A and B are shown apart, each in its own frame.
Chain A
Amino acid sequence: MNTLIALVGLGVLCLLFEIINLRKLLVPATILGLLGVLALTVSEYNMPGSYYGNMIAVNAFSVSFSSLFIVLTIFLIALSHNFYESHQSKLSDFIAIKIFLLSGAVAMVSFGNLAMFFLGIEVLSISLYILAASSRLNLKSNEAGMKYFLLGSFASGIILFGICMIYGAMGTFDTTEIAELSRSAELPIWFPIGIALVTIGMFFKIAAVPFHFWAPDVYEGSPALTTATMSTLAKVTAMATLFKLLTAMNAEISYQYQIVVVIVSMASMTVGNIMALKQANVKRMLAFSGISHAGYMLMTLLSTNNSAGNLLYYAAAYSLSGIAAFAVILYVCKNRDNEDIVNFHGLGKTNPLLAAILTGALLSMAGIPIFAGFFAKLTLFSQTIQAGYLVLVIVAVVNSIISVGYYFKLILAMYTKEADKARTGTPVLIYGVAIVSILLNLALGLFPSLVMDLLG
C-alpha cells in the first residue's frame, strides 16, 4: 500500500524538479527515491494486509513482483539520462511518466478489486501510449503510438466488458468474494464468458499469438528506450497480472481453458520464433522473441497452485537479460537512424565488454546454462511435465533450439564482421546498467533458490 502512495508522490516530485530547475539532479534523485521505495516495499514482505475495503491487497506475490518492477524501472531511468540527452527540456516529463507507469504496474499486481485492476492497467497503458509516440517529429514513432493506442484501447474495452460480465454474474468487483462465489456448484454462464474476455484482453497486452500483430510494428517504431520498457516491464507486468487475475478469482481453472492456454502458448512460441528468424531489425527481432517468451510464461498458467515462484523467476530472468540487451542496443544505435543488425558489426572488436554482455543476455534468453534463463526454462518444463503436458514441453524444447538460430545471428554479426563506423564514448550509466543487470542475471542463475523460494 505504502509503495503505491510513495510512487505517486515520487512522480509528482519529478514534475516539481523541473519547475525548481534542478534538472541535473533529476536522474540520481529519482533513482535514490526508487531505492527508498524498494526498501519500503521489501519491508512489507512479511506483512500481508488489505487496505481501503480490499481495494489493495498486499501479499508475498504483490511485494515480490512490485520489487521486480521497481528494480526494472531503476534500470530504465538510469538509461534515460543518456537517451534523452538531446531533449533535456522534457526529461522530467519522461521520467515522471515512467514513474506513473510503474505505479500502474504495482496497482496491477496488488489489486483486491477489479476496479483497481482496471485503473492500474489504464495508467500503465496510457503512459505507454505517450512514450511510444514520444519522438514527436518521427513519423514511425507517431505511427507506433497511434497503432498501439487504437489496438490497446480496443483491448481495454474488451477487458472492461469482461469485468462487467463478471460483475453481472457475481454481483461484486471484490476478488475475494468472487473467489468464494466461484466455488459454488451453479455458476452463471456470464462468469466464464467474463473470464474469457478478460483473458483475451490480457493476451493482447502480453502479445500472445493470435493477439500479437501490434507488437512488431510498435516495437520497431517506438523510441528504443520505450521498446525496452514495453518488452521488459510492461510484458512481465501483464503476465503477472493475468496470473494473479486467474488465481485471485477462481480456484479451479477448467480443462477447456487449459487447452486454450496450451494452444496459445504453442502458437506464440512457434510463430514468435519462426518470424524472428527472418528479421533484420534488432528491435523487431526482440519483439518476436518477446512473443515467444510470452508463450513460455503462459505455461505457468497450467499449474497455478505452485507456479507463482517460477513465473517470478522467469519474469526476472527474462526482463534482466532484456534490460542488458537493450542497454547495449541503446549504446550501439545512438545517432543511427535504425536498429538493423548491420549496426552491430564488429562490436566484439570495438567494445568487447558490451559485446560480451549482449552475448550473455542472448544466451540467457536462449536458455543456455549458467544464465538464469536456463533455470527458468528448466523449472517451467519440469512443472509442465508434472502437470501432464508432455507434448507442450516437447514443442517448447524444439522452439528453444529454433531460437538459437536468431540469437546467434546477432552474436555472429558482432564477432565476425568488421565495424563500418567508429564508436566513441563510454557512457557510464549505460555500461553500469548493462553490467549490473547481467550480473544480477548470473547471480540468479547461480542461486535460483533466492527468488524461486520467495513464492511458495
Chain B
Amino acid sequence: MDVIYLLVLLLVGALATYLSGDKLASKVALLFSLGAFGYSLYLLNLLEAGVNLDYTAAWITKPNIAFALKTDGLAMAMLLLTTALTPMIVFSGFGNDYKNARSIYALILFMSFAMAGTFLAADGLLYYIFWELALIPIYFIALLWGNGDAEERKKAVLKFFIYTLGGSLFMLTGFVYLYLQAGSFLLTDLYQLRLSCAQQFWIFMAFFLAYAIKIPIIPFHTWQAKVYQKAPTVGTMLLSGIMLKMGLYSVLRWQLPIAPLAAKGHQYVLIGLSVAGVIYGSIVALRQKDLKKLLAYSSLAHVGLIAAGAYTLTLDGLRGAVLQMIAHGFTVVGLFFVAEIIFRRYETRLIAEMGGIRQQTPKFTSMFLLLVLASVALPSTFNFVGEFTVLYSLFQVNLGFAILGGLTIILGAYYMLKMFQHAMLGEVNAKPFADVTFNEGLLLVLIVAVLFFFGLYSKPITDLISPSIENILIHINR
C-alpha cells in the first residue's frame, strides 16, 4: 500500500504544479519531486527492513486485470533512479525561462509518475498503460518547448511517437496472447507459463519490437538523434536519463523471464545487434558537429552495451546492465546539462563555435572533465563498475564480443576527449563566458559526487539489486 502513495504524490504534484501558475510552477515541482525522492528513500528503508511492499488489488474483472505493484530490489533501484533524477531535471530548468512554465513542469512530474508506474507494475496491462502514459508528456514537451525549425521538429517528434506506439502495440498483442494462455496478466502467472519454443519466439519478437525501439537497438534507432537534438534539454534528459531505461528494465523484468528459450536460441544475434549499436554509435559520434547530437550517438553506444549485457543471460551481465543503467542515467543527465549551460551563454550547440572556455571558468571545466571521464568509464567512477562487469560477462559468452564491446571505451575516450578539447580548450574565446551560477554548479557537483561515490563504493546498490536479479535468473534458467 505504501508504494501507491508515491505514485499519488507524483500525480498530485503534477496537478498542483499546473494549478500553481507560471511563476511558482518550478518551485512547486521541485518541492514535490524532492518529496517523492524522500519518500522513496523511506520506502527503501522499509524494503531493507524486510517489509513486503507488494500491493495487489482487483481492478477490472473482464478481462482479468489487477492493480498490482511489485517492489523488489530491482524495481526499487529504478524507482530511486527516477525520483532522484526528476528533481535534478526540474532543477536544471531553473535557469530557463519557459513559456507556459506550469505546463512543462506539470508534464515533467506526470511523466515521472508514469515512469515510476512502469517500473513498479506487476500486471502486464497496468504496465502497458503506464508505458504508454509516459509517451504523451514527452511528446508534448519535445514538440512545444523544443528548439530548431518547427516543421522539422514536428516531423521528428511525430516519427518518434508513431515508432514507439507502433512497437508497443505489438507488445500489447503479445500480452493479449499471453493472457489467453494464462488467464491473467499478472507477472507471477506469466512467469509460470510453459510456452513452446515457437510461441516464445513470437512473444519475444513482439516484445523486442517495443523495447528495441525504446532503447534503441540498431536498426530501430533512427528516431533517436533528431529527437534528442530537437527536444528541450529537460526533455532530452527525461528521454535519455530515465525513459530509455524503461526499455532495458522491461527486457529484464518481462522479456527474458517470459521467453527465455527464444533469448537463448538467438543470443548471438541479439548480442550482435547490441554490439553493432555500440560500434555504429561510436563511429557516428566521431563525426558529429552538434554537441547534443554527439551525446545522443554516444548514448546509443552506451545503451547498446547495456543491452548486450542483459542478453548475455548471466548474473554478471544482468547485474552490470543494471549498474550501468543507473550510472548512465546520471552521466547523461549531467552531460546534457553541460550542453545546456554552454548554450545558455553562447546560444550555440556547434562544437566548432565553442572553444577557449577553460581559462574563463576553471571550475565548470573541471566538472565537465569529470563527467567526460565518467562517461568513458574511468576507474573509480560508477560507469567503470557497470561497464567492466558487462564486458566481463560478454567475455564469458564470446571473446570477440568482449573485444568489440570494449571498443566503446576506446572510441568513447576518443570522441569525448576530442569534443572536450574543441569545446573547452584552446585560445581564449573572444566571447565572454559567465561563470556557472550557484544553481548550475550545485547540480553538477551533486551528479559528479553520486558518480564517484558509487564508483568507489557500489556495494549498497549491488546488494539491493542482486537478490531480485538472481530470482530473474532462476526463471530464465528454469
Contact = CB atoms under 8 A, between A and B. Distances in A.
B129 A449 contact: no
A295 interface: no
Contacts of B170: 397
B98 interface: no
Contact of A453 (B62, B150, B158): B62
B60 A449 contact: yes
B63 A369 contact: no
Contacts of A363: 136
A386 B129 CA distance: 22
A444 B157 CA distance: 29
A320 B180 CA distance: 29
Contacts of A176: none
Contact of B165 (A375, A393, A401, A453): A401
B164 to A, nearest CB: 10
A369 B128 contact: yes
A404 interface: yes
A375 B125 CA distance: 10
A416 B169 contact: no
Contacts of A378: 63, 125, 172, 176
Contacts of A253: none
B169 A400 contact: yes
Interface in B150-191: 150, 154, 158, 161-162, 165-166, 169-170, 172-173, 176-177, 179-180
A381 B173 contact: yes
A368 B150 contact: no
Interface residues of B, number: 29
Contacts of B144: 415-416
Given A415-B140, A452-B62, A394 B173 contact: yes
A60 interface: no
A42 interface: no
Contacts of B440: none
Nearest to A452: B62
Contacts of B161: 404, 408
Nearest to A397: B169
A412 B60 contact: no
Most A C-beta atoms less than 10 A away, residue of B129, B133, B161 = B129
Nearest to A348: B144
Interface string A350-387: 00000000000001000011100011001101100110
B136 A401 contact: no
B132 interface: yes
A370 B132 CA distance: 9
A309 interface: yes
B143 interface: yes
Contact of B143 (A401, A416, A453): A416
A401 B162 contact: yes
A448 interface: yes
A368 B132 contact: yes
Contacts of A427: none
Given A397-B169, A448-B60, A385 B177 contact: yes
Contact of A381 (B129, B135, B143, B176): B176
B374 to A, nearest CB: 37
A405 interface: yes
B143 A412 contact: yes
A401 B177 CA distance: 19
Interface in A286-320: 309
Interface in B103-162: 125, 128-129, 132-133, 135-136, 140, 143-144, 150, 154, 158, 161-162
B169 A382 contact: no
Contacts of B132: 368-369, 374
Interface string B371-414: 00000000000000000000000000000000000000000000
B371 to A, nearest CB: 34
A397 B60 contact: no
B437 interface: no
Contacts of A452: 60, 62
A400 B177 CA distance: 18
A370 B61 CA distance: 17
Nearest to B65: A448
Contact of A405 (B133, B150, B162): B162
Given A368-B136, A369-B129, A397-B169, A412 B62 contact: no
Contacts of A370: 129, 133
Interface in A392-419: 393-394, 397, 400-401, 404-405, 408, 412, 415-416
A85 B156 CA distance: 43
A445 B136 CA distance: 16
Given A370-B133, A397-B170, A401-B169, A382 B62 contact: no
A409 to B, nearest CB: 9
A447 to B, nearest CB: 8
B158 A385 contact: no
Given A381-B173, A452-B62, A369 B180 contact: no
A404 B162 contact: yes
A385 B176 CA distance: 8
Contacts of A369: 128-129, 132-133
A368 B132 CA distance: 7
Interface in B61-78: 61-63
Nearest to A408: B158
B62 A449 contact: yes
Interface string B258-274: 00000000000000000
Contact of B179 (A382, A393, A408, A453): A382
A400 B162 CA distance: 10
A419 B60 CA distance: 42
Nearest to A393: B173
A310 to B, nearest CB: 9
Contact of A382 (B60, B135, B150, B180): B180
A19 B144 CA distance: 54
A374 B169 CA distance: 11
28 contacts: A368-B136, A370-B133, A374-B129, A378-B125, A378-B172, A379-B63, A381-B172, A381-B173, A381-B176, A382-B179, A385-B180, A394-B173, A397-B169, A400-B169, A401-B166, A404-B162, A405-B158, A412-B143, A412-B158, A415-B140, A415-B143, A416-B144, A416-B150, A416-B154, A447-B60, A448-B60, A452-B60, A453-B61
Give the 5 A-B residue pairs with the shortest CB-CB distance, closest first.
Answer: A369-B129, A401-B166, A382-B176, A397-B169, A369-B132
Given A393-B173, A415-B143, A449-B62, 4 more contacts: A382-B180, A405-B158, A449-B60, A452-B60
